[in-house]
Every structure is written in structure tokens, then in C-alpha cells.
Structure 1
């Protein structure tokens, strides 16, 4: 399907009505929207900028200077890190489904943001600020995930199918079938795409091969709603059975570890980018725990009560921190210091559940997608030098004007 270019428009409404959020055992607070009508209104209002939120006045930290030195003069205290409390940009995203189990957003290494809205997927060029529709499927889109090189996008559907798209040429390459339930999660490891579904199975697909299904992993008893690969090829999976499993690179049928600390569905999974065998997981509204695991031993290293449903996790390499997103009951982002999991800040602004996070290629920006039908961009971390050098010819700011060609 040919893509449709969508010019950006400025919206002036930056206030969101409060919503009553109700806790449900299946982690959802509201039934899914009508997917066929989710994107029926004019595309010109989709992924359009709102006015920049008003900046809060910085608050003086009275404890920022603990002492002075009795030398030639007072020692200068190291400046305290200031975390912006408001989003730097807000995009309208009508049609985001209020579903805990969905993964509606992912940011590619080429600086393109994929966003699922009902049964459609849009691409937002974070360099130029332009958006365009990539596809409209026959069923609801439940998850999107870019391959590591940033050119190929996997799209999971409620009917169990997986579409593979060339994001540069904007054409569909393959349709992968095999699951017997709605897609819950996707993760890439080079040319292997792993998919988890409501059929409680993980399928491994070699996207280069005609017969793509090369493995089937059975370690869960319910919907698989979280998947993530470590840099050395270990797969972590989270499910609606409250389990976290890890799988070795050989993809044997039995998991390496089965971690049982959580008391609700585990959708949020993220491997530490600077330390091997360190996995962070987050539980649903009956659990609310953020957990750090040593996957080499299966030992729980640290946990904390996040006080609300955990929907996603990203790491800040430079600051040695992690950012979690939340749903019921506070709909906030929380910043935590590693390894003690001491909370540094809460970032608020969404009026409803945050259903997913995506991190810019250099690691400095985080985009949060919410069922209040907005995307919010937060400047939380310092740029990672390694990732910045790897993509230094590509801008990483939503404010820069250089255009990354998508065709």
C-alpha cells in the first residue's frame, strides 16, 4: 500500500480531561476501541504536534550543597542533575488502543518511530517531524518492532499473523503465519524474529528462509506479552501466567531459568545495556514490582514497589538509571537509580495509562505512548557515546530539520 504523506499541524489544546481508571484482573481498564474506526478521522490530525508544554520553574534543592571546604575557598558542589518534569513535545495519536498487552510503539536505529493506531501503522520521522501511513491491516495491530538495522519492521496482528515490512521502500515483504492466537510480543535477534502469542507459545522465524518457522518454545501457560533479547542472544519472555523465562541461544525447548517472583502479568522486560546477565522486569496491577535479576543464577537481586502497574522499561546507560512507565493507578513515568532502585523522579502529564515506551537511537529521548491518545517526548538521559558515534550521520532530535528519506 502506498504511503500517504501527512504534513504536521500545530494543535493548541494541551489540557487533558481526567479519566476514571478501573482495575481489572486482565490488566485492562477498558475494552479495546473499535479498530476499524480508530483512524477514520482525517490523517492530518494523526501524529501532529501540540504546543510545547509549559516548563515548570526549577525548584531549589536545599540539600544540594552538603558542606563547604576550609581551604583557599569553598569547594564547588557538583551540579545536581535536573530532570525535566514536563514533556518537550506532544503529538496527537488518535486511535491508540487502551490495552495493557499491546506494544504500540518502537523507535528504529534510523530515527523512525513506528506507531500502531487501531489497524493502521504510521511512521513518524523524528528528524523532520513528518508522519505518514505505512499500512492498514485487516485486523487490529497489537505490536510493532524494528529489526536492529532499522530498515525492517515486524507488525503483529490480533489474528496471529506477522507482517514484515521494508520501512525504507514502504512495501510488505512477507506474511508469517503459525500462531493460533493474538500476537502479544515481538523481538529480533539478527535475522531471527521471535514472536509470542495468546496460544502461550514462542515461535522463532528465520526471515531469510522460505520455511520460516525454525523453533517453538513452550514454557508459559498463558498469553506471552513480553519478549526481549540480550546483546549476547539470550531471550527473556514474560507472560500472563506471572512468569519470566530465559532461553539460551540454542533455543532448546526448556527455559534456562523460570523466575516466579511476580504476582501479575509480566509485560515489561529489558536487559541492562552495560552488564551481562542483568534483567529488569515489571509486573501488572496486582503486583506493581520492579525486579532486578541475575539470569546467570536466577537470583532476585533487588525489587521495589512501583505503586502502580508497570507497562514498560528503558535504561539510561550514562546515568546508570532506568525509566519505567505505568498504568493504573497513576499513569506516570518513574526514574530509578541503579542498583538500589531508589526513585529519582516521577514524570507526569498523561491522563490515562501509558501503554509503551520507545527510546531514541542515542538513548537521550524517550517517547511514551498513552491511551489518552498522545505521544510525549521526554529528554531524560544523556546521549550514549557509543550509539551516537554509530549513527553520527543521523540526527536524534525531534527539533532538527534534516530529513531522513523514507522512500
Structure 2
């Protein structure tokens, strides 16, 4: 191949290897865009060594012939001083910090490992059923109460029976003679030892359940039967068929200390708030009153704080909310059928729900935001509501007559209901609170034996 052909070939290669300027520019631009920008840590670099390599050191490598012995010796000394055997100039002196995972493995895996909280099982049948013969089928009375010592009191005709939930034993406290009976109300004192018994003859008896003896009889307050009772420490509040509400100080001889007058017919519902400052009373006159303890007077009839007239039938079922002190719930009789919620500070009705049947009793769940109501015609059921949506969670059936009375166990888990069908039923409707579930085997739950009886 001659020189001309070689030159022509090399020129052809040069022409073929060239790229258009626009293509070269795009290639360089794409290359720059694909690179990560490097931000050096200047504190970790030797600028003296870097400056030498970029100036004098580079000159020696590019033109080694011009290097003199003295310059070569100087270069070697610099190499020992600046550690010239390093392959990189912009090198970290220390290891880079270990990257921190913004989502640690423990955090990401925990929700997957933790099982979803299962929905609480609500038994549809009663845990236990006891006979309650001769129970008075009267809507306006209050014949069932569960004391803080885990003893249930129930009045059957003229007799008050005590059922110990710890061991299931039953004992008779007292039988009233026919002239003064039947028993119209029962209520445990806060200590769980003393109990008040209202009678058809307008008397109220105080008993010591442990010693099984009567302490005293409160007379002279009412003129007709006492169908409702409520304790506020040492004050026993009584409501009578005469429409009067009386505060009795059980420690003193002259026990009548205040009188509330506002109802025109029988007082069938009484409940003190948890603070003991407000009293709710319901009557057969369809009225609901809120009374302020600080406004009570012993010299004259105390004026009510609120007089609420929204119900269209007797108001017996009352329950103060355990998690909101100024929230009261009330239930109306067969002509009303409504559950109403009240702000007792303002007297405003904040919600009303038509249940479709007579409301006999109301209980709040102490562990969850739930409300339990008992009803009369037509289903005679217990209904569990979710608060505040008031969505029905369950309906418990089994009674064949209206469920007149309900009482709650001290731990808040079990509910006892008594009906006109002369049965007493126990329901595990409120479940077991989280703090009670891991209880030690050495201390079994007081109602563990109920769970095994169907």
C-alpha cells in the first residue's frame, strides 16, 4: 500500500470517527447529567500535597529528563512527608459514617408481627340464670343492687336475699311483715356492708349485712311508699310516691337535712353524680330534674337547677356517664321509648334515640364507651349501644317479660338483670378489661366460675 493510499485511508478514518458537534454536545451533556455531584469534605484533605501533585509533581512526571538529582531527592523527601503512595488525592481520612436507615427494621416489621386487635366477643346468652320467685312486677320500683363487696341484693316480695358472687352462696337478710311490706327498693351503701331497704309503708330500714342486724329505721319523711334510693357518702336520698325527695344524714338522730320538691307524682329514679354535687331525679310525671347539692336548704324546699320536660312518659332509667362528669342519660317509659343525653351544666338535650320499646334501666360500661339498656314490650331485651354513634352492637334476649332492673358488678364486667318472668340472669356483656386479663392464676377472677356455666 503506497503512502497516498495510507493518507487517504487515515483521512477516511478521521472523517468516520468524527461526530457532529450537536451529537458530541448532547453526549457530554448527558454524561454530566448522569453523574452525582461530589461535595468534598475539606477537613479530610491534604491541600499541600494536592497542590504539589498538581504543580511540581506533575511537571516531574511529564518531563523526567529535566529532573536534577537535587530535585529528585527533594521529591522523594516530599513523598515520605505526604505519603505519596496514596492512589487518590481526594480521599477520606476516616471511614464515612454508617448510613442510618430512616425506616428501621424493627419499626417496619412491628406492625406486621403484631396481630390486629380482634373484635370483642359478646355472648348472646346469659352466663347463669337463677330463680327469682315473687319478684314484684312494678316498673316504678328498684329491687336490685350490686354492692362494692361483690354481694348482690334482690327483693322478692317481702324478703331481701343476698347472693355472694364470690362463692355463689345465698342468704336471707330480712323478711318484712305483710303490714309494712312488700319491699319497694334496695340500695347498698358505698362501703358494701350497709344496705338501705325502702318499704311500702313509707319507712326506710338500715341494715348491717355482715352482722345481719338492723341498725335503725328512718321515719317521718314520706307519707307513701319509698320506691327509689340513692347514696351520697353518709347521705341517703329517698324518693317517694308522694313526689318528695329527702336527704337523710344517717349519722344523726334528726336525719332529715334537705327536701327537694318539684315532682307532682311518684319519684321512680334517683342517681347522684360521681362528684356528689348533682342529683338527677325522674318521676311518673314525665319530668326529669337536676338538683345542685350546694343549693340544698333545710329550711325550705330546694329549687331545682334544671327542669327538663322532653320525655313524654315516666322517667325511671338514669345513669351518669363515667368519663364525662356533666353527661347524664335518661330513658322514658312505654309512651316515650327514647334514650336522651343531657348536658347537666346547661340543661340541653344533646341527643335522643328512639329505641322502639319501654326503657326500664340504663348502665354505662366502665371500660369502654358503651351503654346498655333494658326494655319491656315487645322483645324484653337488653341492647348494647356504641357511644356516641348509638349503633347497636348486640341485642341480648332470654327474658320473657320486661327487664325491669339491672345492676353492675364492682369490676364493671358482669351485669345482672331481673325481670317480671321471675328470673335473675347474669350477662358477661361488658367483657374483661385489659388490666384484668393477665391476672395471676393464684387470684382467679371473682366471676371465673360464671364463665363456665352456660
The two structures have a TM-score, normalised by structure 2, of 0.69
CA distance in 2, matches of 1:398, 1:256: 44
Is the Cα–Cα contact under 8 Å of residues 367 and 412 in structure 2 kept in the other structure?
Answer: no
The structure where strand makes up a greater share of residues is: 1
Moved more, 366-375 or 337-346: 337-346
Is the Cα–Cα contact under 8 Å of residues 122 and 431 in structure 2 kept in the other structure?
Answer: no
Which position in structure 2 is the counterpart of 1:103? 142
CA distance in 2, matches of 1:80, 1:398: 21
Match runs of 1:75-86 below 5 Å: 77-86=116-125
Which position in structure 2 is the counterpart of 1:381? 430
Which position in structure 1 is the counterpart of 2:281? 237
Which of 147, 158, 167 is the equivalent residue of 2:200?
Answer: 158
Say whether residues 1:301 and 2:350 are aligned partners.
yes
Which of 210, 214, 227 is the equivalent residue of 2:257?
Answer: 214
Mark the CA change 1:275 to 1:156 in structure 2 (over 3 Å): closer, same or farther: same
CA distance in 2, matches of 1:318, 1:150: 21
Which of 340, 347, 361 is the equivalent residue of 1:312?
Answer: 361
Which of 212, 227, 237 is the equivalent residue of 1:170?
Answer: 212
RMSD: 2.2
**Partner SS for 1:292:** strand
List, as ranges, runs of 4+ consecutive aligned residues in structure 1 with deviation greater than 6 Å: 72-75, 385-388
**Partner SS for 1:399:** helix
Is the Cα–Cα contact under 8 Å of residues 359 and 366 in structure 1 kept in the other structure?
Answer: yes
Which of 164, 168, 173 is the equivalent residue of 1:125?
Answer: 164
Say whether residues 1:87 and 2:126 are aligned partners.
yes
Say whether residues 1:396 and 2:413 are aligned partners.
no
Say whether residues 1:137 and 2:176 are aligned partners.
yes
- Higher RCO, 1 or 2 (CA under 8 Å, sep at least 6)? 1
- Could you report, residue by residue, the CA deviation over 1:94-135 in whole angstroms, capped at 9, with x for unpaired residues? 111111011111000000000000011000001111101100
Which position in structure 2 is the counterpart of 1:146? 188
The two structures have a TM-score, normalised by structure 1, of 0.77
Which position in structure 1 is the counterpart of 2:386? 337
Which position in structure 2 is the counterpart of 1:197? 240
Task: Quote how far apart the aligned CAs of 1:340 are.
Answer: 2.1
CA distance in 2, matches of 1:199, 1:219: 11
Gaps in structure 1 of 5+ consecutive residues: 1-71, 401-407
Aligned residues: 327
Say whether residues 1:257 and 2:306 are aligned partners.
yes
Say whether residues 1:322 and 2:371 are aligned partners.
yes
The structure where helix makes up a greater share of residues is: 2
Gaps in structure 2 of 5+ consecutive residues: 1-110
Task: Quote how far apart the aligned CAs of 1:386 are.
Answer: 9.1
Is the Cα–Cα contact under 8 Å of residues 364 and 379 in structure 1 kept in the other structure?
Answer: yes
CA distance in 2, matches of 1:386, 1:276: 23
Task: Quote how far apart the aligned CAs of 1:345 are.
Answer: 1.1
Which position in structure 2 is the counterpart of 1:15? none
- Could you report, residue by residue, the CA deviation over 1:301-360 in whole angstroms, capped at 9, with x for unpaired residues? 111111111111111122210101111222100001111222111100001111100100
CA distance in 2, matches of 1:147, 1:386: 26
Is the Cα–Cα contact under 8 Å of residues 193 and 207 in structure 1 kept in the other structure?
Answer: yes
Mark the CA change 1:173 to 1:394 in structure 2 (over 3 Å): closer, same or farther: farther
Task: Give 1 or 2 for the bigger CA radius of gyration.
Answer: 2
